[in-house]
Amino acid sequence: MFAAQAPSKLRSDGTLWSTHARNVSCYIGWMHILAVAAVIAVVAYLVWDRSNRLFQIEVTDGHVEVASGQVSPRFVQAVREVVAFPPVARATIRGVKAADGASLRCSGLDDGRIQRLRNVYRLIPQSAFRSGEAPINERNFWKLFNLVWLINLFRR
């Protein structure tokens, strides 16, 4: 009538010994494996994201700064004009590789400004972007490691 239960045994100190106690070390081992797999997945995503990025422009309080990559001076000037009025508090503009050449990924801008930037981006030949100067300064060294959020946090 009642389901049969596995007999429990008493240890020498009087506590119950369970057959599941042996599997705790296996469970902890699997947790370590999952943690390592998660770290590897995050690193792989960051490397993949970095390999697809052509350039990145950061806008903070209306100030435009080339964070990484080479950008045409004409496009940087267009970004300055687009974010000038009304001023943009914080935005990120990325040029990424796409099937048709390159495309823009923007965050922190409204749809009208994004369309203006896309129009200007398509008018400038891609060779002009490769001939632009790459930014070299101390802050951009840290941005190579995707610590932009940390730098912006302490910049205030």
> What per-residue confidence (pLDDT) applies to 13?
64
pLDDT digits (tens, 9 = 90+) for 101-153: 788 999 999 999 999 999 998 888 877 776 655 555 555 555 555 556 666 66
In the block, which residue shows the tokens 């902890």? 28
pTM passes above 0.85? no
> What per-residue confidence (pLDDT) applies to 87?
85
pLDDT digits (tens, 9 = 90+) for 25-67: 555 677 888 899 999 998 888 777 777 788 889 998 888 988 8
> What per-residue confidence (pLDDT) applies to 109?
92
Contacts within 8 Å (CB) and 24+ apart, 62-70: 62/87, 62/88, 65/135, 66/135, 67/135, 67/140, 67/143, 67/148, 68/135, 68/140, 68/143, 68/144, 69/95, 69/134, 70/129, 70/130, 70/131, 70/132, 70/133, 70/134
The yes-or-no verdict on residue 91 having pLDDT over 90 is: yes
Domain ranges of the chain: 14-49, 53-155
Q: E-assigned strands of the chain?
A: 9-10, 16-17, 53-60, 63-69, 90-98, 101-107
Q: From the centroid of its chain, how far is CA 146?
A: 7
Cis peptide bond N-terminal to 86, omega within 30: yes
